[in-house]
Structure 1
Amino acid sequence: MAMTRTRAAFTGLLAAFAVTGSLAAGAAQASAAPAKPAEPAALPAVNMEATVLAAQIDPRRADDTLTPGAKASVLAVEQALQAKNLLDARWVDGYFGTETISAYAAYQRSLGYSGLAANGLPGATSLAELGKGRYTVTHQIGPGAKVQRNGYTVDARTQAMLTEAERLLGFKLVLSQGSYNPGGDASSAGTHDGGGVVDISVTGMSAATRTSVARALRQVGFAAWVRNPNQGDWPWHIHAAAISDTDLSSQAQHQTGDYYLGLNGLANRAPDDGPRIPIQTWEEYQRTH
């Protein structure tokens, strides 16, 4: 009887050792398993619409007021420019002023761009290239292909805007000057050198109709003014610059910035003399219509 109890106890002890060994082996295997790699941190997003808008308005301000909704995006762009030693740290502030414009133009030139493609206004390609490993780009915009209208060259974005203004007005508009016309009219002071800018003939229009046209153009995203011979060496016409067209010449960028600041887009920077409506870009208009 005693021998049987001893043998049973011994058998139980062996079983216990077996269980303990199995547990220890399992623990060792668990501790030796490789750790799951951490998920990479999501890159910040740069809103191209907001960034391009700030690049037009901020350089024209008399103070350092930020363009609403653009600070985070502009900061990300400025930080990327600083990392490339193109922008001093003191200008990394979310304000797309003249120093940032110059730095961005230098970056565009470093990519081999020139002319309109190196105007300091962010384009989709250069903005994405600058952001590699740093940020992603949302709300992309661009001028589109060059097309013909009334015998003049405009870009596809401008063409679509003019077509929508015509729909609102109920009649066709005729151009008296198009875009991409460097040196074509000295009185234009370079505003037509790039894309997005047109002059519209007002032949046969009453004063009320001229104002209605300017209002419709503003509604779809142009900075638009009725121009008269007392303001410069030109006949009556309507001058319109498509806000946020990334092919805008530097002079046209200044006009759109001044428009947001309540000015007339001329060298004297007098108060806006056109119909006042809520200002919006073509993309903002499209989202609400």
Structure 2
Amino acid sequence: MKLPRRSLLAFGVALPALGLLPQAVPAAAALPTVDMEMVLKAAQWDPAKADSAVTPGAGPSVKLVETALRERGLLDPSYEDGHFGTRTVTAYAQWQRDLGYSGIDATGLPGRTSLTKLGAGQFTLTRVVTAGARTTHQGFPINERTLAMLRAAQGRSGRTYVVEQGSYSPGTDPTSAGTHDGGGALDIDAEALTAAQRTAAVTALRQVGFAAWLRTPAQGDWPLHIHAVAISDPDLSAPAQKQTGAYYEGRNGLAGNGADDGPHVPKVTYEEYLRSLQHRSPS
């Protein structure tokens, strides 16, 4: 005899146990998120610091990355602290090599693919940064993100810049010390510019997310030019990464680690610059 629903409840029989009602499937716990923008900033800035200070806003994301590296036996637990210092850079570079990468793809600066693979089952990515495809500009190699930044700076200054050296150019100029081996690096002719125009150009480049300085013959064996490195370009060479870290620390990016001699401009990435434009746009 089949008892009615009310009778079963009266006997304390659980309906789902009898297959009479669908059982709820427990929802899978959402994975924590890693902010790639902040991880990239920390990976450039933290190694240049004199201490183990955590880059503001980057600590939780960096620690998730460090935990994943530690669980793969690549990082000692004592460095699982949210500071993306030289030990974490070294560990991340080993992770990239474990994935089969080499050269500028294995410098310890996280890229989207390596971060995604590192976080499998542990975290997901937000605010992903990519260099974009490689292209050319004025005959020099460059990637899409750097070209967009250059055009944004030209728009701010109202002047078209003449490029003297592009990106992805290993061995082209020994005086560059490897900064142009990867993406994000540009040299711009400054000899035809007035002093005011040079300052305006460096200012505009910094405003859109470049670490940029005016280089003079007195500083090295080179003509007067503007050296610019796109902050947080995932393709930066190791020397270019060090220059962006020096920029964050208020230095000039040269071997002598002198004080920054450029215009005082808030330090931003290209993504932060774009968001500032959106905030200023009328609704």
The counterpart of 2:193, out of the listed 195, 201, 205, is 205
TM-score of the pair, normalised by structure 2? 0.92
- Distance in 2 separating the partners of 1:153 and 1:31: 65
Q: How much is the aligned-residue C-alpha RMSD, in angstroms?
A: 1.7
Structure-2 residue corresponding to 1:32: 17
The counterpart of 2:178, out of the listed 169, 190, 200, is 190
Structure-2 residue corresponding to 1:63: 51
User: 4+ runs of 1 displaced by more than 6 Å?
Assistant: none
| Residues 1:218 and 1:33: Cα distance change in structure 2 (over 3 Å) | farther
Q: CA offsets, 1:184-221, max 9 Å, x none? A: 10000110111000000013211111111000000000
1:36-185 → structure 2 map (5 Å cutoff): 36-185=24-173
TM-score of the pair, normalised by structure 1? 0.91
- Distance in 2 separating the partners of 1:220 and 1:99: 30
Q: CA offsets, 1:161-204, max 9 Å, x none? A: 00111111112111011111101100001101110000000132
The counterpart of 2:256, out of the listed 268, 279, 288, is 268
**Offset of residue 24 of structure 1:** 6.0
Structure-1 residue corresponding to 2:226: 238
**Offset of residue 31 of structure 1:** 6.6
The one-letter amino acid paired with 2:175 is: S
* Structure 2 counterpart SS, 1:67: coil
Q: Gaps spanning 5+ residues in structure 1: where?
A: 1-17
- Distance in 2 separating the partners of 1:240 and 1:29: 70
| Residues 1:283 and 1:33: Cα distance change in structure 2 (over 3 Å) | farther
- State the identity as a percent: 53
The one-letter amino acid paired with 2:98 is: S
- Distance in 2 separating the partners of 1:287 and 1:77: 25
Larger Rg: 1
How many corresponding residue pairs?
Answer: 272
Structure-1 residue corresponding to 2:7: 22
- Distance in 1 separating the partners of 2:9 and 2:148: 73
Structure-1 residue corresponding to 2:238: 250
**Offset of residue 255 of structure 1:** 0.3
Structure-1 residue corresponding to 2:281: none
* Structure 2 counterpart SS, 1:127: helix
